[in-house]
Amino acid sequence: MSLIEILIITLIKILIILTLTLLTVSYLVYFERKISAWAQNRLGPNRVGWEGILQPFADVFKLLLKEDIVPNKANKVIHSLAPMVALFVAFTTYAVIPIGPNVQIFGYDISLVVADINIGILYVLALTSLGVYAITFAGWSSGSKYSLLGGIRSSAQMISYEISMGFSIAGVLLLSESLRPIAIVESQAGWMWNAVVQPIGFITFFVSAFAETNRLPFDLPEAEPELVGGFHTEYSSMKFAGFFLAEYANMIIASALITTLYLGGWQIPYIEKLGLADWLVTVFQVGSFFIKVGMLLFFFIWIRWSIPRFRYDQLMNIGWKVMFPLSLINLVWVAVLIMIFN
Amino acid sequence: MIIEYIPIFVVLIVAIGFAVATVLSSGIFGPQRPNSEKLSTYESGMTPVGSTNERVSVKYYLVAMLFIIFDIEVIFVYPWAVQFQNLFGEIGISAFISMFIFLVVLELGYLYVYKKGGFKWD
């Protein structure tokens, strides 16, 4: 393929995935509000469009037409930089997540991933680490006590859980022998899903993903009852929308990562034995990826309304005294498994 | 191959463009009617007291330092993890034992921090 062809194909892929992410984010917010309403026995949004189906668009336009307030005491440059960093991280990480096997379109062999690079997992780790900066910048630059407290707590939380996350991924790498996300998916053929082979690693990664995306029960950076809005107390208009968008996009990315690393990615066990046409298999596989991601997203929302928020000391205790040793045990467990079965 | 990384650069450029456009759009479409009350720091309706340029508890720095130590440990584990099946085929169980010793040495440090009360939060 020539350079021009690669560029065009990449741009088309980015356009498709960007639209898909933005649509999913809008409707994730809608479903979160609906599911919250069901959990609390109320109605939820039902005024804009049929059953409130157009609510996300109304919200976006409302935020777009609001005044952008930058408080006097804020550091103006960093105050606007923070939502940019959050959005940048949220909309670059998806680039290495494969949503399906290679397909043939118009004679081109196209992989269903924006960038098929051999350091995919390192790329994801590097970018998610940058996410800490967005919240720290926002908390520090706002000049508000609530923001500062939220920002400091949040950076401590995110870096603590990054370690157990890193060790859990090392367990996956032992089996896949590669940092390429596609190779990781292919190493989980049949029922050899990593969630089955290394359940401890699956749980530690899952919990760390909740902490990294600042979702309840780990939503200390926001903690409405005590910190007002946490790190985004002083944000309004599209800057607030940026943080909001980034949080939900991060949830989608976390679910997609869990699917890729532990739930076999796009694979359906033994589907090739059914003797279906190739294109039908591909459609089912891509569909199964989205169903897995959707179920994980539902789980994220479900947990939010089932478990109360942790206190700061409980959160750090779980991170350093439970998750970190567990992820180490998982690493040794997988290495021993490999030595027994090789 | 550098050509595999071209999509990454395109993604980075698109993401920067998207982020900047989103943040700038609020200044273009929204009204701008600032006044001193609106621009003061939010403190639940009270007049703001004191500043935020205060000292931060040393415990947060401790977390940051521990993070650096153990996160670098993770990075040392990755190349070993990727090559482990090859190494085990070539040199047998010593591929496992050498990494195990490395982890034990660092976990002794972890136990030391534990005993010293580095993991106590209140």
Taking phi first (over 0 means left), then psi (-120 to 50 degrees means alpha), and beta for anything else, what does residue A101 get? Answer: beta
Q: How many residues does chain B have?
A: 122
Are B15 and A65 a contacting pair at CB < 8 A?
A: no
**Domain of B4?**
1-29
Listed by number, the residues of chain A in 221-240 with a beta carbon closer than 8 Å to a beta carbon of chain B are 228, 233-234, 236-239
Specify whether the CB–CB gap between A316 and A160 falls below 8 A: yes
Give the minimum alpha-carbon distance from B34 to chain A in angstroms, rounded to a whole number. 8
| B22 shares its domain with B68 | no
Q: How does residue A223 score in pLDDT terms, banded at 50, 70 and 90?
A: low
Residue A114 in contact with partner chain B when CB distance is under 8 A: yes
| Predicted local confidence at residue A297, as pLDDT | 92
| Interchain CB distance below 8 Å, B63 and A18 | no
Identify the closest residue of chain B to A316 by CA–CA distance: B121
Query: Tens digits of per-residue pLDDT, A28-78?
Result: 988 888 888 988 888 888 888 888 888 888 888 888 888 888 888 888 889
Determine, for residues B23 and A335 on separate chains, whether the beta-carbon distance falls below 8 Å: no
What is the predicted pLDDT for the residue at A5? Answer: 82
Q: Looking at the domain assignment, is residue B34 inside a domain?
A: no
Instruction: Give the pLDDT confidence score for residue B112 in this predicted structure.
Output: 92
Question: Using CA atoms, how far apart are residues A73 and B49, in angstroms rounded to an integer?
Answer: 12
Nearest CA in chain A to B31: A67
How close is the nearest chain A Cα to the Cα of B9, in Å?
10
pLDDT for B1 equals 65
Please report the pLDDT score of residue B17 as a whole number.
92
Contact A264, A293 (CB under 8 A): no
Average pLDDT over residues A90-107: 83
Count of structural domains within chain B: 2
**Type of residue numbered A173:** L
Question: Would you say residue A1 has pLDDT above 70?
Answer: no
Residues 6+ apart with CB under 8 A from A262: A172, A193, A194, A195, A201, A202, A205
Angle between helix axes A324-341 and B58-91 (nearest 10 degrees) is: 0
| Amino acid B74: pLDDT | 87
b/e A149-175 (16+ beta carbons within 10 angstroms → b): bbbbbbbbbbbbbbbbbbbbbbbbbbb
**Mean pLDDT computed over B85-102:** 88
Q: For residue B23, what pLDDT is reported?
A: 87
Read off the pLDDT of residues B17-76 as tens digits, 9 standing for 90 and up: 989 998 888 878 878 888 887 787 887 777 777 777 778 888 888 888 888 888 888 888
- Say how far apart CA A173 and CA A183 lie, in whole Å: 10
CB-based contacts of A189: which residues, under 8 Å, 6+ apart? A267
DSSP secondary structure of A183-212: HHHHTT-TT--HHHH-HHHHHHHHHHHHHH
A179–B7 C-beta distance less than 8 A: no
* DSSP letter (8 states) at residue A106: T
- Which residue type sits at A166? G
**CB neighbours of A327 closer than 8 A, spacing ≥ 6?**
A163, A164, A165, A167, A168, A171, A200, A201, A204
CB contact under 8 A, B6 and A6: yes
Residue B98 resides in a domain: yes
- Region B68-94: what's the mean pLDDT? 88
In chain B, which residues have their Cβ closer than 8 Å to the Cβ of A163? Answer: 67, 70-71, 74
Tell whether A144 is within 8 A of chain B (Cβ).
yes
Mean of the per-residue pLDDT values of chain B:
85
Chain A: give the shortest CA distance to residue B98, in Å: 12
Counts for chain A of helices (H) and strands (E), in that order: 13, 2
Q: Where exactly are the structural domains of chain A?
A: 69-341
Residue by residue, DSSP assigns chain B as -GGGGHHHHHHHHHHHHHHHHHHHHHHHHS-----HHHHSPPSTTSPP-S-S-PPPPHHHHHHHHHHHHHHHHHHHHHHHHHHHHHHHHHHTTHHHHHHHHHHHHHHHHHHHHHHTTTT---
CATH of the domain at B105: 1.20.58.1610
Burial class of residue B112, CB neighbours in 10 A (0-12, 13-18, 19+): exposed
Among residues A180, A161, A158, A172, which one has the least CA distance to residue A201? A172
Whether B115 is in a domain gets the answer yes
3-state secondary structure of A118: coil
The per-residue pLDDT for range A272-329, each reduced to its tens digit, is 777 777 788 888 888 999 999 999 999 998 988 888 888 888 888 888 889 999 999 9
**What is the distance between the alpha carbons of residues A217 and A318, in angstroms, rounded to a whole number?**
12
CB contact under 8 A, A312 and B121: yes
Average pLDDT, chain A: 86
**pLDDT the model gives residue A271:** 78
Query: Do B20 and B61 fall into the same domain?
Result: no
Instruction: Give the mean model confidence (pLDDT) for residues A69-90.
Output: 88
Nearest CA in chain B to A163: B71
